Amino acid sequence: MRAVQVTQTGGPEVLDAVELPDPTPGPGELLVSVSAAGVNFLDVYRRSGLYPVPLPSIPGSEIAGTVRAVGSGVVDFSVGDRVACSDADGGYAELLAVRSERAVPVPDGVTDEQAAAVLLQGLTAHYLVNDTYRLSAGTKCLLHAAAGGVGLLLVQLAKRTGAEVFATVGSAEKAPLPAAAGADHVIVTADRDFVQAVEEIAGPHPLDVVYDGVGRATFTGGLDLLRRRGTMVSFGNASGPVEPLSPLVLSAKGSLYLTRPTLADYTADAAELRARAADVFELVATGALQVRIGARFPLAEAADAHRLLESRRTTGKLILVP
């Protein structure tokens, strides 16, 4: 099979297209013929060494495709079923063996490309607005990188709760996307400081919650916008990891709450994973949640996909098509 392999950590140039033996499914596993693989910052973090993984490795945690074979003990899927997975290991490949309990069925009305584009980020957006900090009518929230894959989904899910959504984008060209998705206020950070912009609209310390997937560049400013006992949800490091923080800072800024959630802890068992995925896929199938695919790349051009993602010039989701 064709795959993309990393033998040493570094920049996008370390992503090599190679031929490898076809995998076989072990007990409790599915062999999936991959139709599409999502490109995520998690892949970048692992490729660069920020998140260490054993080498050599095949990047990619998010895939969709068709079951080609099943291992012993599998009772919940059959050959020919369409499935997706958000926490696979080695998704940049034509074939992938995945644990059956971590696979979710892809329903009619959702294409494989949509499934690969929405699953990881859709699950992330789902747990953020429903569980990490449950939004409701009138909640004031700030969403960074709102024209990106997670950002556009977050805007849509946040607006479904009735929350007031402040959204940041890096350039004026990106601003129409979160606006069309329902954001109440779109702030172009290339033109103005987002803290000043939010306070001009809503006054000092107006926010109940900040959802920050950018990290170092936006974290401190987000804290300054929170109300007393407000919540900072730091869920990504697109601009680099956040500097170490003394708990006394949270006290001084109004007894703030800080959480650093991960998807794994909100999809810890198969029942929770599949319930969240079913919610997300139903919204996609009915048109209530729009999935924007920003670009498609063949496997051999995975390095170009990483360069584009790291440039922060993307809108929507990047996918690889084996």
Crossing angle of helices 112-127 and 270-285, in 10° steps, is: 120
What average pLDDT does range 91-116 have in this prediction? 97
Of the residues 260, 282, 297, which one is the last residue of a structural domain? 260
Structure letter (DSSP) for residue 145: S
Q: What is the pLDDT of residue 144?
A: 96
Same domain, 83 and 156: no
How far apart (Å, rounded) are the C-alpha atoms in residues 242 and 140?
23
Q: What is the pLDDT of residue 90?
A: 96
Q: What is the DSSP letter of 72?
A: T
Identify which of 15, 13, 12 has the alpha carbon closest to the alpha carbon of residue 55.
15
What is the mean predicted confidence (pLDDT) over 236-255?
92
Residue 8 class from Cβ within 10 Å (0-12 exposed, 13-18 middle, 19+ buried)?
exposed
Determine, yes or no, domain membership for 132.
no
Task: Tell me the per-residue pLDDT of 250-294, one tens digit each, with 9 for 90 and over.
Answer: 999 999 999 999 999 999 999 999 999 999 999 999 999 999 898
Position 127 in a domain: no
Residue 279, CA atoms < 13 Å, CB-side half-sphere: 13
The pLDDT score that the predictor gives to residue 240 is 85
pLDDT score for 252 = 97
Instruction: Say yes or no: 247 and 161 in one domain.
Output: yes
Residues 13-57 have pLDDT tens digits of: 999 999 999 999 999 999 999 999 999 988 999 999 989 999 999
**In the prediction, which pLDDT does 89 show?**
92
One domain, residues 170 and 191:
yes
Q: The domain that contains 213 carries what CATH number?
A: 3.40.50.720
User: Which of the listed residues 260, 280, 297 is the one where a domain comes to its end?
Assistant: 260
Given a cut of 80, is residue 315 above it in pLDDT? no
Q: Which residues contact 111 (CB under 8 A, 6 or more apart)?
A: none
Distance CA 135, CA 112 (A): 30
Q: 41 is in which domain, residue-wise?
A: 2-119+267-321
Q: Which pLDDT belongs to residue 283?
A: 97
Asked if the model's pLDDT at residue 172 lies above 80, the reply is yes
Query: Please, are residues 58 and 3 in contact by the beta-carbon 8 Å criterion?
Result: yes
Total count of domains within the chain: 2
Q: Which of 238, 262, 313 is nearest to 120 (CA)?
A: 262
CB atoms within 10 A of CB 34: 29
